[in-house]
C-alpha cells in the first residue's frame, strides 16, 4: 500500500529490474503490449518522420531509423558525418546490423557522459547480439529507452514532452515508467566530486607556474657574464673532453672486440682440426684391427682351401654313390606313396569287412529268429494237428452225423494246403540259409587271410624302409671311407627286396580290387534275400492268421454241434501252458545268445587292444607283461577263451619276439 491507499505489486520487467507499478489490469495489459508489440515500442519515432522504415521490429534492428531520430534530437552531437557511417542497406546480415547498433549505443553513452554529465551505472546496456541476430524485443526496448531518454533531456526536450502529453493516458503512463527506469539508472556527478576536481585543477595550475619559472632560469645559462653561465661553460668543456675520452675508449673496445672475434675463429678452426685428427686416429686404430683380423682370416682361408681340396676330391669319389642314393630316395618315395595308397585301400577293405560282418550278424540273427519262429509255428501246428486228429478220431461218428459235408471238405483241404506250404517253406529257407552261410564263411576266410598277408607285407615294407634309412645314414656318415663294392652289393640286395615287396603289394592290391566287386555282389544278394525273407514272413503271417481263423471257426462249429466235448478244453489249456513255457524259454535263449555275442565282441576288442599295445612295444619284457595282463583281464571278465583267440595271441607274441630279437617261450 502507498500513501494514497493504492495497492502495488512487483511487476516482472525485463531482467534485472523489478519496478513497483499500480496493480490495475489495464496497466498490466499495456505493459505487456509495450514489451511484446512492435508498434508500441517506438511511439516517439512516429513524430520524427524518418526516411528509414520503422513499422516492424526487423526494420528497427537495422539501426537506420534510430540513428536518423538521434540526428533530429541533437544534430550537433549526432552529426551528418556520423550519420553517414550508419549503413542503411544491410538486409538480413546480422553482423552489419550489430555494427550499426554498436555505433549508435557508443554515441548515446558518450552523449549521456559528456553532454548530459550523467553516468550509466545501474541501467543495463542492451545485448546487441540478441537484437541483431534474433530481433529480441526486450533488448530492443532497452535501446529505445536510451533513445527516449536522449529526447527528453536534450535542448528541444519541451517539444518531445508536449508530444508525449498528447498521447493516450495509458501510453503516457507506460512512457513515464520507462523514463523513470532510465532516470534511476543514471547518476549525476556529486558536488563533492566537483570540489575535488577544482582543487586538483588549482594544484595543476600552480605546478605549471613553477615549471615555467624553471624554464626561464635555464634560458639564463647561455649568458657568460653570469656565474651560472660560466659554470655552464666549464661543464660544457668538461663534457666535451669526456665525450672525446668516451669515443677513444669505444674505438679501443671495437679493436679488442675484432681481435677477440679473430681469436675465437682461430679457436674454432683449431677445434675442428683437433676433431679431424682424433677421427683419423680412431680410423687408423680401426684399420689396424681390421688388418690383424684379415691376416688371421687369410691364414684360416689357406687352411680351409686345403681342406676344401681334400673334400672336393672326396666328393668327386662319392658322386656315383650320391646319384645312387638319390635314385634310392626316389624309389623310396614311390614305395611310400604306394604304401599310403595301399593303407587307404586297406582302410576301405576294413570298412567293407566291418559292414560285411554287420550284414552277416544281422542275417544270422534274422535267420535264427525266423528259424525259431518257424519251429514254434511248426510245433504249434503239429500240436493243433494232433489235437484235431484226436478230436476227429473221438468224434468221427458225431461229425459224420451232425457236421455238414462242405465244412468237413473245406477243413480237410485247408489242412492239406497248410502241410504243403510248410514243406515248401522249410525247403526254400533251408537252401537259402545254407547258401548264405557258405558265402559268409568264404568271404570271412578270404578277408582274414588278406588281412594277415597285408599286415605282414606292411611290416616287411617298414623293415625295408628302416634298412634304407640306415643305409642312407651310413653313406652320409662314412663318406669316402666305406668300400664302394660292399655298398653297391648292399644297395642291390635292398633294391631286389624292395622290388619283391612292391610286386607283392601290387598282387595284394589286385586281390583287394577283385574282392571289392564280390563284396558288392554279396551285399546286393543279401539285400535281395532279406527282401524275399520279409515277403515270406508276411505270407506266413497271413496264412497263419487265416489258418487260425478257420480253425477257430471249426472249433466253434464242433462245440456248437457237440456240447458234451468239454474235456477237450482242459487239453487246450495244457497246450496253452506249454506254449507260454516255450515262449519264456525262447526269451531266455535269446538273452543268452545276446550275451554270447557281447562276449565275443568284447573278446575281439581285447585282442585288438593287445595287438596295438604289442606293436608299440619292442622289448620282450613288455610283450610278456602285456600278454599276462590281457590274459588276466580275460580271466577276470569271465570271457570264454576260444582257440582262435589263443592262437592269434601266440602268433602275435612270437612275431613280436622275432622283431625284438628275443627268445620265445610259451
SS3 for 552-593 is HHHHHHHHHHCCCCCHHHHHHHHHHHHHHHHHHHHHHHHHHH
- Which string of DSSP letters, residue by residue, matches 402-447? HS-HHHHHHHHHHHHHHHHHHHHHHHHHHHHHHHHHHHHHHHHHHH
Q: How far is CA 21 from the centre of its chain?
A: 72
At residue 45, the pLDDT reads 44
Q: What would the pLDDT profile of 167-226 be if each residue is shown by its tens digit?
A: 888 888 888 888 888 777 665 545 666 677 678 878 888 888 888 877 776 666 666 667
Residues shown for the chain: 666
Q: What is the reported pLDDT for 644?
A: 41
The answer to whether 565 and 559 are in contact (CB under 8 A) is yes
Whether residue 507 lies inside any domain: the answer is yes
Please report which confidence band the pLDDT of residue 596 belongs to, taking 50, 70 and 90 as the band edges: confident
Looking at the structure, tell me whether residues 32 and 131 fall in a common domain. yes
Q: Where are the alpha helices (DSSP H) in 37-156?
A: 57-60, 64-73, 80-84, 94-110, 128-134, 137-153
Same domain, 328 and 379: yes
Number of other CB atoms surrounding residue 653 within 10 Å: 20
Average pLDDT, the chain: 71
Task: For residue range 62-73, list pLDDT tens digits in order.
Answer: 888 898 889 888
Do 207 and 344 share a domain, yes or no?
A: no
Does residue 252 register a pLDDT over 80?
yes
Strand partners, 12: 18
Nearest-5° angle of CA 412, CA 418, CA 420?
105
**CA-to-CA dists, residue 644 to 418, 420, 604, angstroms:** 44, 43, 10
Q: Residue 238 has which C-alpha cell?
A: 668538461
Q: Is 499 helix (H, G, I), strand (E, B) or coil?
A: helix
Q: What whole-number distance in Å separates Cα of residue 346 and Cα of residue 661?
A: 28
The reported pLDDT for the residue numbered 193 is: 62
Lowest mean pLDDT among 33-37, 304-308, 399-403, 614-618: 33-37
Query: Cβ contacts of residue 68 below 8 Å, gap of 6+?
Result: 48, 50, 51, 52, 83
The pLDDT score that the predictor gives to residue 616 is: 65
The grid coordinates listed for 233 are: 661553460
Q: How far is CA 609 from the centre of its chain?
A: 44
Confidence of residue 387 (pLDDT cuts 50, 70, 90): low
| pLDDT of 420 above 60 | yes
Residue 508: the pLDDT is 64
pLDDT of 256 higher than 70: yes
As a whole number, mean pLDDT of residues 216-244 equals 77
Residue 355 pLDDT greater than 60, yes or no: yes
More confident residue, 400 or 201: 201
- All three cell numbers of 649, joined, read 595271441
Shared domain for 105 and 201, answered yes or no, is no
The tally of domains found in the chain comes to 4
Is the pLDDT assigned to residue 97 strictly greater than 60? yes
Does one domain contain both 198 and 56? no
Q: With beta carbons less than 8 A apart as the criterion, state whether 65 and 52 touch.
A: yes
Distance CA 510, CA 407 (A): 67
Q: Are residues 488 and 400 in the same domain?
A: yes
CA torsion, points 419, 422, 427, 432, in degrees to nearest 10?
170
Mean per-residue pLDDT, 535-560 = 73
Does 639 or 539 have the greater pLDDT score? 539
Q: What is the CATH number of the domain that holds 22?
A: 1.10.418.10
d(CA 451, CA 346): 8
Confidence at residue 265, expressed as pLDDT on a 0 to 100 scale: 92
Does a structural domain hold residue 241?
Answer: no
Give the H/E segment covering residue 22: strand 18-22
What per-residue confidence (pLDDT) applies to 521?
64
Q: Give the pLDDT band (50/70/90) at residue 419.
A: low
Mean pLDDT of 128-144: 88
Average pLDDT over residues 24-41: 33
267 — pLDDT class (breaks 50, 70, 90): very high
What is the Cα–Cα distance from 314 to 77, expressed in whole angstroms?
Answer: 121
Ramachandran assignment for 49, one of left (phi > 0), alpha (psi -120 to 50 degrees), beta (any other): left
Q: How many CB atoms lie within 10 A of CB 567?
A: 8
Grid cell in block for residue 552: 477257430
Any idea which of 341-350, 422-431, 462-471 has the lowest mean pLDDT? 422-431
**In which band, very low, low, confident or very high, does the pLDDT at 37 lie, cut at 50, 70 and 90?**
very low
Distances (CA, A) of 290 to 100, 299, 301, 341, 453: 85, 14, 16, 61, 70
Decide if 169 is inside a domain: yes
pLDDT of 390 over the 70 cut: no
Whether residue 603 sits in one domain with residue 521: no
pLDDT of residue 15 exceeding 50, the answer is no
* Top-confidence range, 450-464, 572-586, 609-623, 630-644: 572-586
Is 354 in contact with 519 (CB distance < 8 Å)?
Answer: no
If asked whether residues 174 and 204 sit together in one domain, one would say: no
Q: In terms of domains, do 354 and 424 share one?
A: yes
Above 60 in pLDDT, residue 516? Answer: no
Residue with the larger pLDDT of the pair 340 and 392: 340
**Binning pLDDT at 50, 70 and 90, where does residue 367 land?**
confident
Q: What is the mean pLDDT of residues 594-599?
A: 81
Would you say residue 142 lies in a domain?
yes
Of 443, 432, 449, nearest in space to 360 by CA: 443
Q: Which residues contact 163 (CB under 8 A, 6 or more apart)?
A: 44, 47
DSSP 8-state code for residue 61? T
Band of pLDDT at residue 269, cut at 50, 70 and 90: very high
526 in a domain, yes or no? yes
- Residue 75 main-chain phi, psi, to 5 deg: -65, -25
Is 107 a member of any domain?
yes
Residues 430, 557: one domain?
yes
pLDDT band at 27; cut points 50, 70, 90: very low
pLDDT band, residue 157 (cuts 50/70/90): confident
572, 558 contact by CB (below 8 A)? no
Which pLDDT belongs to residue 40? 38
495 and 603 in a common domain: no
Q: Is residue 578 part of a domain?
A: no
* pLDDT score of 149 more than 80: yes
Residues 532/366, Cβ–Cβ less than 8 Å: no
Question: Who has greater pLDDT, 124 or 440?
Answer: 124
pLDDT of residue 494: 64
DSSP 14: S
Asked if 614 and 659 touch (Cβ cutoff 8 Å), the reply is no
Has residue 426 got a pLDDT over 80?
A: no
Q: Is residue 276 part of a domain?
A: no
Q: Which helix (H) or strand (E) holds 119?
A: strand 118-120
Rounded to the nearest 5 degrees, what angle is found at the Cα of 474, between the Cα atoms of 470 and 479?
155
Is the same domain home to 551 and 597? no
- The predicted pLDDT at position 4 comes to 37
Residue with the bigger pLDDT between 534 and 168: it is 168
The reported pLDDT for the residue numbered 1 is 36
d(CA 10, CA 14): 12
Query: How far apart, in whole angstroms, are the C-alpha atoms of residue 650 and residue 657?
Result: 11
Predicted model pTM: 0.29
> What is the residue range of 615's domain?
593-666
* 440-499 confidence digits (pLDDT tens): 677 667 777 777 777 777 777 777 767 767 766 766 665 544 445 565 666 666 667 667
Amino acid at each position: 500500500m502507498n500513501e494514497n491507499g493504492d495497492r502495488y505489486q512487483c511487476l516482472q520487467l525485463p531482467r534485472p529490474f523489478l519496478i513497483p507499478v499500480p496493480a490495475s489490469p489495464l496497466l498490466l495489459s499495456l505493459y505487456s503490449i509495450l514489451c511484446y508489440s512492435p508498434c508500441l515500442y517506438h511511439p516517439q519515432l512516429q513524430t520524427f518522420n524518418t526516411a528509414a522504415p520503422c513499422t516492424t521490429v526487423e526494420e528497427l534492428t537495422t539501426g537506420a531509423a534510430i540513428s536518423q531520430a538521434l540526428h533530429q534530437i541533437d544534430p550537433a552531437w549526432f552529426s551528418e558525418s556520423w550519420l553517414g557511417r550508419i549503413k542503411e542497406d544491410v538486409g538480413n546480415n546480422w553482423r552489419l546490423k550489430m555494427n550499426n547498433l554498436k555505433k549508435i549505443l557508443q554515441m548515446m553513452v558518450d552523449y549521456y557522459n559528456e553532454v548530459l554529465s550523467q553516468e550509466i551505472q545501474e541501467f543495463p546496456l542492451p545485448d546487441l547480439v540478441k537484437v541483431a541476430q534474433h530481433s529480441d524485443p526486450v533488448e530492443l526496448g532497452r535501446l529505445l529507452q536510451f533513445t527516449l531518454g536522449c529526447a527528453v533531456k536534450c535542448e528541444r526536450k519541451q517539444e518531445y514532452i508536449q508530444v508525449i502529453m498528447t498521447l493516450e493516458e495509458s501510453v503516457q503512463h507506460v512512457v513515464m515508467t520507462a523514463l523513470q527506469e532510465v532516470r534511476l539508472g543514471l547518476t549525476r556527478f556529486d558536488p563533492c566530486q566537483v570540489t575535488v576536481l577544482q582543487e586538483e585543477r588549482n594544484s595543476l595550475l600552480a605546478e605549471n607556474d613553477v615549471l615555467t619559472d624553471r624554464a626561464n632560469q635555464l634560458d639564463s645559462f647561455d649568458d657568460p657574464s653570469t656565474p651560472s653561465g660560466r659554470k655552464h661553460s666549464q661543464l660544457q668543456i668538461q663534457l666535451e673532453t669526456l665525450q672525446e675520452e668516451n669515443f677513444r675508449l669505444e674505438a679501443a673496445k671495437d679493436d679488442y672486440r675484432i681481435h677477440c672475434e679473430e681469436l675465437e675463429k682461430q679457436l674454432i678452426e683449431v677445434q675442428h682440426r683437433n676433431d679431424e685428427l682424433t677421427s683419423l686416429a680412431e680410423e687408423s686404430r680401426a684399420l689396424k684391427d681390421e688388418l690383424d683380423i684379415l691376416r688371421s682370416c687369410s691364414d684360416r682361408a689357406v687352411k680351409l682351401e686345403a681342406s676344401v681340396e681334400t673334400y672336393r676330391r672326396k666328393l668327386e669319389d662319392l658322386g656315383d654313390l650320391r646319384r645312387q642314393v638319390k635314385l634310392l630316395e626316389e624309389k623310396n618315395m614311390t614305395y611310400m606313396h604306394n604304401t599310403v595308397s595301399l593303407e587307404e585301400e586297406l582302410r576301405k577293405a576294413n570298412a567293407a569287412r566291418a559292414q560285411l560282418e554287420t550284414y552277416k550278424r544281422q542275417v544270422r540273427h534274422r535267420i535264427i529268429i525266423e528259424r525259431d519262429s518257424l519251429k514254434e509255428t511248426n510245433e504249434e501246428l503239429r500240436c493243433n494237428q494232433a489235437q484235431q486228429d484226436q478230436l476227429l478220431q473221438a468224434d468221427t461218428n458225431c461229425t459224420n452225423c451232425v457236421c455238414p459235408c462242405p465244412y468237413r471238405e473245406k477243413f480237410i483241404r485247408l489242412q492239406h494246403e497248410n502241410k504243403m506250404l510248410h514243406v515248401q517253406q522249410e525247403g526254400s529257407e533251408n537252401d537259402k540259409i545254407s547258401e548264405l552261410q557258405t558265402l559268409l564263411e568264404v568271404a570271412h576266410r578270404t578277408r582274414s587271410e588278406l588281412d594277415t598277408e597285408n599286415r605282414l607285407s606292411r611290416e616287411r615294407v617298414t623293415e625295408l624302409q628302416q634298412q634304407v634309412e640306415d643305409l642312407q645314414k651310413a653313406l652320409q656318415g662314412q663318406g669316402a671311407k666305406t668300400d664302394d663294392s660292399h655298398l653297391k652289393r648292399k644297395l642291390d640286395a635292398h633294391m631286389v627286396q624292395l622290388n619283391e615287396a612292391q610286386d607283392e603289394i601290387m598282387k595284394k592290391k589286385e586281390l583287394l580290387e577283385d574282392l571289392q566287386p564280390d563284396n558288392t555282389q554279396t551285399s546286393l544278394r543279401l539285400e535281395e534275400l532279406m527282401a524275399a525273407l520279409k515277403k515270406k514272413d508276411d505270407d506266413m503271417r497271413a496264412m497263419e492268421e487265416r489258418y487260425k481263423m478257420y480253425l477257430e471257426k471249426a472249433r466253434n462249429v464242433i462245440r456248437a454241434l457237440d456240447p458234451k466235448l468239454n474235456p477237450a478244453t482242459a487239453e487246450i489249456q495244457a497246450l496253452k501252458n506249454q506254449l507260454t513255457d516255450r515262449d519264456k524259454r525262447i526269451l531266455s535263449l535269446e538273452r543268452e545268445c545276446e550275451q554270447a555275442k557281447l562276449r565275443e565282441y568284447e573278446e575281439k576288442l581285447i585282442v585288438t587292444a593287445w595287438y596295438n599295445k604289442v606293436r608299440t612295444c619292442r622289448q620282450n619284457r613288455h610283450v610278456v607283461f602285456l600278454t599276462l595282463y590281457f590274459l588276466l583281464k580275460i580271466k577276470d571278465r569271465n570271457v570264454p577263451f576260444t582257440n582262435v583267440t589263443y592262437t592269434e595271441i601266440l602268433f602275435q607274441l612270437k612275431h613280436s619276439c622275432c622283431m625284438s630279437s628275443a627268445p620265445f617261450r610259451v
